[in-house]
Structure 1
Amino acid sequence: MTKEQTAVIKQRYAAKLKNGYPLIEKSAFDQPFIDSLQEGTLLRLLDEKGAFLGKGYFGRQNKGVGWVLTRKQGEEIDRPFFQSRLKAAFDKRAALKADDQTTVFRLFNGEGDGIGGLTIDYYDRFYLCTWYSEGIYSFRKEVYEALQSIVTCKGIYEKKRFSAKGQYVEDDDFVSGERGEFPLLVKENGMTFAVYLNDGPMTGVFLDQRDVRKRIRDHYADGKDVLNTFSYTGAFSVAAALGGARKTTSVDLAKRSLPKTIEQFSVNQIDYEAQDIVVIDVFQYFSYARKKGKTFDLVILDPPSFARSKKRTFSAQKDYTGLLQEAIALTRKNGLIVASTNCSLFSMKKFHSFIREAFSREGVSYELMEQYSLPDDFRTTKAFPEGDYLKVVFLKRLS
């Protein structure tokens, strides 16, 4: 068992921890103390008066320098600890596990399930663990033993996201069990997606948009001309096509988006040649579409929080209003815009202010149809609102 080290939290940060905040912030300590710590060090957290706050671990990541794991003084951070946390989380997903129309979902969601820095996703009998710091990765033996004591795994894969810049660490992603045959075909609400657990940081589908894809398929796509921007592998386009869209147009700058989107259409028995798949910068496509007089009934905006191309840098926090203006210009009267962001730097309230500003600038009125945040398997805690990062708003253009 890792030896504990006492760590005294500055009083202003101690107050947050007392109220349930799980993140250990860098500013809670003086820099010399941080420099003295090794990744994975267990911290016995005290306030400046010596009162016990909790136990956590030290692990540098973009959100801070570690996470609180327990607020019980006598609880050990060992295999039984991880086993109890994992089992409690898995039990909460029992309904999803029993749904034969959905074979891919999140089983364990970091701080929302009690262990910040770790997520576990289920891919049809394969388990994918994503580690967000070297600190939490130092507990991998205990976590994998705990996981295998709870479930029967066909195979386990992992992603390491703890390089100096928080990026994916290139390595063999296979951990144990049976190596998968890829693409692995999984189901989400009856839709099929081709995924890869062994090919870089992403698998081919963003699991947090499950409810949104189903809503588009079931209620908004029928008979519509659909524009899907920042389309990645075309999952929204697949949902729209299965929902009866007249035609989908998928736009993404990455060259891989073309074969990946073709693959997703094909595994759903959709004729990809009847769809448009365009490899181009989204903003260049907006310009092209305006010149050609193209308009759409349904426009999907799901940009990354931050992106850089040769000609442009996009930041959701600074540039979403302008992006939405571009979409409004291509949306037909009574058409729908699905505006989405995974940026944790602003709230849903702030996102709505971007929306109001964009429509005001374009001189167009709109109606809020509905909105979504993370699905139930992406559990969050009210004490850490930053963890509830997803914001999706359905907007009807009225004029």
Structure 2
Amino acid sequence: MIAPLASLLARRAHLSAQGTTFYRGVHTTETQGQFALDLAGAIGVLSLYADLSPQEEMELAGACAGAAELVGLYLKRRPPEARHAANVAREWLSPPDPVWGEARGEVTVLENGVPFVIRPGSDLSLGLFADARPARQWVRQHPPARVLNTFAYTCGFGLNAVLGGAATVKNVDLSRKVLAWGQENYALSGLAAPDSDFLYGDVFDWFRRLSRRGDIFDLVILDPPSFARGKAGIWRAERDYARLTAMAAAVTAPGGQVLTLLNHAGVSAAHFERMVRLGLQEAGRQKQDAVRLDAGEDFPGATHLKAVVWWLD
């Protein structure tokens, strides 16, 4: 197993030299859907999508660690029902300690030269989604004056907007913990991170509040989870994305843009774009143009991520 793994990893080795030390070393399309390996510097994160015995898990972990010359490797078990089990089986899904080598509570990595804090043992999510790297780079290269980054998580999109020159960037998330993590990421780049730019609360509530105040933005970024439970009920992207898009369009300036993302293998690109167009129609906005972004060269054959920039009238 080590020889083919080494060959796959070698195809991505140039990314580190180009200023990206966090990337996917082996994608599921290269393992018949069984596993993926993400690299955060010398720390690896092995994601399992197949049921393996404890012995098979350890053998695979050792093979990955050896092929990538890692100092430590963490395990994430990602069965189809993981999104429902996360709250009741968290430590089994995402063991806090490495299954191989040294423990590293935090790792500072680079993405196109921008530093981010990764916490490989903290949860199923590490602090950054590598497949959105091209979309974050697009935001950095095309920053308008006013940006609203919703479902901000650790604020990677907001940080890139500020680095690109945006004058106003607001990051919205329902977790104070991840917003504080985002402020840490800002600090790594030497940027001011006032609390007023990190808005805690439900994204839908914030859309209503911003709309009532008459606040508008030149770019609104939508990067919601595919599934979530909240006080207002259950969010399902395949059902609710049109409503979300309509609310985003209501606070988008004339001639502005909406960047829509969805990480959901069960939703086709055609269905996703149809939902977005329905949302724009509901808001009385017309699409003038659209640009589709991919998941990056380290995700060959990936179809799970949909990322589209929409220019509105």
TM value normalised by structure 2: 0.91
Distance 1:137 1:231 in 2: 35
Pair 1:213 & 2:130 matched: no
The equivalent residue for 2:73 is: 156
Matched, 1:351 2:269: no
1:139 paired residue number = 56
Q: Would you say 1:396 and 2:311 are equivalent positions?
A: yes
Aligned-partner residue type, residue 129 of structure 2: F
User: What is the aligned counterpart of 2:10 among 77, 82, 91?
Assistant: 91
1:198 aligns with 2:117: no
Q: Which amino acid aligns with 1:349?
A: A
Q: How well do the aligned residues superpose, as a CA RMSD in angstroms?
A: 2.0
Q: 1:115 to 1:145 in 2, by over 3 A?
A: farther
The question of whether the paired residues in 2 share the 8 Å contact of 1:249 and 1:278 is answered with yes
> In the alignment, which residue of structure 1 is the partner of 2:173?
252
After superposition, the Cα gap between the structure-2 partners of 1:136 and 1:317, relative to the gap in structure 1 and judged at 3 Å, is farther
* Aligned-partner Cα distance in 2 for 1:211–1:163: 26
What amino acid maps onto 2:98 in structure 1?
A: F
Number of matched pairs: 306
Work out which of the two has the higher radius of gyration on C-alpha atoms and give 1 or 2: 1
Structure 1 stretches of 4+ with a deviation exceeding 6 A read none
Task: Give the fraction of aligned pairs with identical amino acids, expressed as a percent.
Answer: 29
Distance 1:140 1:185, change over 3 A: same
CA distance in structure 2 between the aligned counterparts of 1:355 and 1:270, rounded to whole angstroms:
33
Change beyond 3 A, Cα 1:88–1:273: same
CA contact (8 A) 1:85 1:114 kept: no
Measured in 1, the distance between the counterparts of 2:263 and 2:66 equals 34
Partner of 2:24: 106
The residue aligned with 1:177 is 101
Deviation at 1:228, TM superposition (A): 0.5
The TM-score, its normalising length taken from structure 1, stands at 0.72
Hey, what's the Cα distance between the residues in 2 that align with 1:137 and 1:230? 35
Judged with a 3 Å threshold, the aligned counterparts in structure 2 of structure 1 residues 178 and 339 are, in CA distance, closer, same or farther, namely same
CA shift digits 1:287-310 (9 cap, x unpaired): 111111111011000111111111
- Take 1:310 and 1:351, find their aligned partners in 2: how far apart are those partners? 25
- Show the counterpart of 1:301: 222
SS at match of 1:135: coil
Structure 1 CA distance, aligned partners of 2:82 and 2:116? 30
Give unpaired runs (5+ residues) of structure 1.
1-81, 381-386
CA distance in structure 2 between the aligned counterparts of 1:212 and 1:108, rounded to whole angstroms? 20
> In the alignment, is the contact (CA less than 8 A) between 1:83 and 1:143 conserved in 2?
no
1:249: Cα distance to partner? 0.6
More divergent stretch after superposition (226-235 vs 350-359) = 350-359
- Is the contact made by 1:247 and 1:274 (CA closer than 8 Å) also made in structure 2? no
Does the aligned pair in 2 maintain the 1:368–1:393 contact within 8 Å? no
Distance 1:251 1:148, change over 3 A: closer
Alpha-carbon distance change, 140 to 165 in structure 1, aligned in 2, over 3 angstroms: closer
Unaligned runs of 5+ in 2: none
Between the aligned partners of 1:358 and 1:163, the Cα distance in structure 2 is 28
For the residue of structure 1 that corresponds to 2:307, the secondary structure is: strand
